[in-house]
Amino acid sequence: MDGKEKAVTAVALLALGTILSAQPAGKPQDHLNRAADAILKLKSAQFTLTREGAPAFLDEKLGVTFTAAQCVYAAPDRVSCEVKIASKSGTVLQLTRVWVPEGTFQSNPLTRQFAKAPPDATFNGVVLFAKTGIPDLLRTSVQKPQLVGSETLRSKSTIHFKGDVRGDKLLTLIGSGSTIKPELTYPVDFWMEGRSANPVRIHVVEPAGNGWLIDLFAVNEPVDIPTPKVPEPSKQ
């Protein structure tokens, strides 16, 4: 081997070493467990919930659908979401839904006054961060987890994993307003920060171009989610 061949070999070995060192050590499930622990340690977070493809039902009886929600979480049991909705006639409005220990409240999109949310409202923002929510899904429900690689997402260095999750586990998080079937499995991608293990993005893929995208950011920043004030019923 001459000097030129040795130089090429050295460069190739150096490149291979760089690639291998960039790959996170440990099994994929070990990293998902770390992310589950990190979620339970969060003091607060902001997150967006985006419906891809066909809108999901917020209230199937009234034909009200939604496509996006901008939310704030305060540990351990407070979430507030600004939800973009569409009525059966196609009118686009916005309402606020709040989950607090006193119950679930929802604002009237026209008057902005709060009332108790409908009893059949299935999606629960607090469940996402509870021990039985995303943490349990990451620990016990991701089938055949695989490392995709290291990626930069929203200027953050993240580790990307993928796997399959049964529909019944996803429905406990998303609610029954989508096309997810409990007996089927769905591809799920998960991005987490390498050092802190904080989640950055979760993507659920459904057939026919439908899906769910959850982006988390601004973790552990001060937030305040007060219990909504419900107007007293008028006396006749």
For 10-39, write each residue's pLDDT tens digit. Answer: 433 343 333 333 456 789 999 999 999 999
Residues 131, 102: Cα–Cα separation, whole Å: 20
Candidates 106, 119, 127, 224; CA nearest to 174 is: 127
CA distance to 127, 164, 165, per residue, from 140 (Å): 16, 11, 10
Do the beta carbons of residue 196 and residue 41 sit within 8 Å?
no
The owner of tokens 């709040």 is 98
pLDDT tens column, 47-62: 999 999 988 887 777 7
Plot region of 143 (φ>0 → left; ψ -120 to 50 → alpha; else → beta): beta
pTM score, whole prediction:
0.85
User: Of the given ranges (16-25, 133-142, 196-205), which has the lowest mean pLDDT?
Assistant: 16-25
pLDDT tens column, 183-193: 999 999 999 99
Amino acid, res. 235: K
Residues 28, 189: Cα–Cα separation, whole Å: 12
Amino acid, res. 30: D
Cβ neighbours around 223 below 10 Å, total: 16
Candidates 208, 215, 229; CA nearest to 100 is: 229
Q: Answer with the residue of higher pLDDT: 177 or 150.
A: 150
Which domains, from first to last, does the chain contain?
26-217 (2.50.20.20)
Do the beta carbons of residue 228 and residue 80 sit within 8 Å?
no
